[in-house]
A and B are shown apart, each in its own frame.
Chain A
Amino acid sequence: DTGVSQNPRHKITKRGQNVTFRCDPISEHNRLYWYRQTLGQGPEFLTYFQNEAQLEKSRLLSDRFSAERPKGSFSTLEIQRTEQGDSAMYLCASSFSDRKNYGYTFGSGTRLTVV
């Protein structure tokens, strides 16, 4: 078990470009979460999946953000027409659906810089 893997680790993009991040969760976990973290803040919820179903998306998330988890395995997060305010660390986490006994395992994140 290699933990939660995220790629790329860093991404620098020009404003207006589209970017896509990938997350490979722990294979036994059926839940996958995307969070965003800015400097000095805690992780902010974006969306989550149970297997391949996207069950909730943050109301704060604009339509420029979309996430998929085909076949319930890896997940991708796409941001279209990036803005400078999108600059942040994007964290992926996975867990079992047994919420009483298991916490999240986070990946190391993808740091996005929009210039």
Chain B
Amino acid sequence: QQPVQSPQAVILREGEDAVINCSSSKALYSVHWYRQKHGEAPVFLMILLKGGEQKGHEKISASFNEKKQQSSLYLTASQLSYSGTYFCGTEEGQGGSEKLVFGKGTKLTVNP
């Protein structure tokens, strides 16, 4: 079952913040976040495991609510380089499924 991402697209000015959400109807073992720029391969950002831990990566952080099967990606003080499409990938099942199911993506545009 494909996770649902929201919003589908967001446009920011440099320095503004954004939140991207990922929701699944299934119990999740982990959530991955990737960023893909046009014509390029998806690039791994971070992984969150069940247990509700929050992770940070410079000005990009994420949380995982295991009970709600939801993860959120937080981008603060956005930079032009943050533009791209963000995908969450979920590994389903209590013990994991050994593969990721990706959402349809959220297109982020950061303007000067």
State in angstroms the CA–CA spacing of A99 and B92 once bound together: 13
* Cβ A100 vs Cβ B102 within 8 A: no
Which residues, 1 to 49 on A, are CB-close (under 8 Å) to B? 4, 33, 35, 40-45, 48
Partner of B104, one of A4, A33, A42, A102: A42
Partner of A43, one of B29, B40, B42, B49: B42
Which residues, 10 to 47 on B, are CB-close (under 8 Å) to A? 29-30, 32, 34, 40-47
Partner of A56, one of B2, B96, B98: B98
Binds B, one of A65-73, A79-87, A104-112: A104-112
State in angstroms the CA–CA spacing of A107 and B49 once bound together: 24
* Cβ B102 vs Cβ A103 within 8 A: no
Contacts of B42 in A (CB 8 A): 43, 91, 104, 106
Q: Does A101 sit at the interface, judged by CB under 8 A?
A: yes
- Count A/B pairs, Cβ under 8 Å: 61
Contacts of A104 in B (CB 8 A): 32, 34, 42, 44, 89, 100
Sorting the interface of chain A by its residue count into under 10, 10 to 19, 20 to 34 or 35 or more gives 20 to 34
Closest residue of B by beta carbon distance from A6: B41
Closest residue of B by beta carbon distance from A106: B41
* Cβ A42 vs Cβ B98 within 8 A: no
* Cβ A45 vs Cβ B99 within 8 A: yes
Contacts of B110 in A (CB 8 A): none
Contacts of B47 in A (CB 8 A): 100-103
Q: Known contacts being A101-B47, A103-B32, is A55 close to B98, with CB within 8 Å?
A: yes
* Cβ A42 vs Cβ B99 within 8 A: no
* Cβ A103 vs Cβ B34 within 8 A: yes
Q: Nearest-CB distance from A112 to chain B (Å)? A: 15
Q: Does B60 sit at the interface, judged by CB under 8 A?
A: no
B residues touching A (Cβ–Cβ < 8 Å)? 2, 29-30, 32, 34, 40-47, 49, 87, 89, 91, 96, 98-105
- Shortest beta-carbon contacts, A-B, top 10: A42-B102, A103-B44, A106-B41, A43-B102, A42-B87, A106-B42, A108-B41, A45-B99, A103-B32, A42-B104
**Can you list 22 pairs linking A and B with CB atoms under 8 Å apart?**
A33-B99, A40-B104, A41-B105, A42-B102, A42-B103, A42-B104, A42-B105, A43-B102, A45-B101, A48-B98, A91-B41, A91-B42, A99-B98, A100-B30, A100-B47, A101-B47, A103-B47, A104-B32, A104-B100, A106-B41, A106-B43, A109-B41
